[in-house]
Amino acid sequence: MEIKVVRQILEWNENCHAELQKLFDEKKVLVINIMGSPGAGKTTFIKRIIEELNKQYNIGVIEGDVAGKIDAEKIAEMGIPVVQLNTDGACHIEAMSIKNMLCDFDLDKLDILIIENIGNLVCPAEFDIGEDLKVAILSIPEGDDKVEKYPLMFSRADALVLNKYDMKNVFNFDEDRVFENARNINKDIKLFKVNSVSGEGLNSFIEMIKNKIKK
């Protein structure tokens, strides 16, 4: 005998994601999920965003890492409320982990919550964590074939940031290949070319964030 079920296997995460999105809408917090490989420059990018926006907005950060608190310390030095989330080996962050961290923030006072996901192009793409924006960071030295190799990440991202853009010629990087492939799998993806160290190219990204602030 067959019993019809039709239930999402990740339903535990999807339910929690929906609950978080509702809460963040009520509290008017814009939540940004930053994803990318280890070494893509996620933390440097986040620090830049903070520098550009923290005079105007209240920002909080959740730093996801398999181990250690190196990144959280860098953010804390900037005087920004930050919590380190250690996954003890897990390859991604889940919605429930974010929910458990929220007691460390005053959501009524927060405008933007930035979550740095675990450095990995595969698993974080499968788990929604209550975010409004998924940002995939790809750095030039990683190579121009990554969108083709890891389509899920780029098919689900709202924005693709090509980081370390100043290294483009050094690595003979074909940006058209990346942008074309990204648009093929994700028509609406927004594309940015950034050097997070100098801040070059960051303006249009900052404008996008400002336009999405919840009022």
Binding residues for another protein (CB under 8 A)? 1-12, 90-92, 94, 120, 122-123, 126, 148, 151-152, 155, 180-181, 183-187
CB of 144: closest distance to another protein in angstroms?
15
Residue (of 148, 147, 156) closest to 124 by Cα position = 156
Residue 128's nearest CA partner among 27, 2, 35, 28 is: 35
Please list, in sequence order, all residues whose beta carbon lies within 8 angstroms of the beta carbon of residue 58, skipping any fewer than 6 positions away. Answer: 109, 110, 111, 112
CA dihedral 99, 104, 110, 115 (to 10 degrees): -60
Comparing CB distances to another protein, the nearer of 8 and 211 is 8
Closest to another protein by CB, 76 or 91: 91
Q: Do residues 48 and 202 make contact, with C-beta atoms less than 8 angstroms apart? A: yes
Beta carbon nearer to another protein, 152 or 206: 152
Minimum CB–partner distance for residue 183 and another protein (Å)? 7
Write the secondary structure of 80-137 as one string of H (helix), E (strand) and C (coil). Answer: CCEEEEECCCCCCCCHHHHHHHHHHCCHHHCCEEEEECCCCCCHHHHCCCCCCEEEEE
- Minimum Å gap between C-beta 8 and another protein is 5
Name which of 40, 8, 46, 21 is nearest 98 in CA terms: 21
User: Which one, 60 or 64, has the nearer CB to another protein?
Assistant: 64
**Complex with another protein: residue 78 or 91, whichever CB lies closer:** 91
**Cα 26 from Cα 62, distance rounded (Å):** 20
Local structure of 9: helix, strand or coil: coil
Smallest distance from another protein to CB 34, Å: 19
Choice between 111 and 158, CB closer to another protein: 158
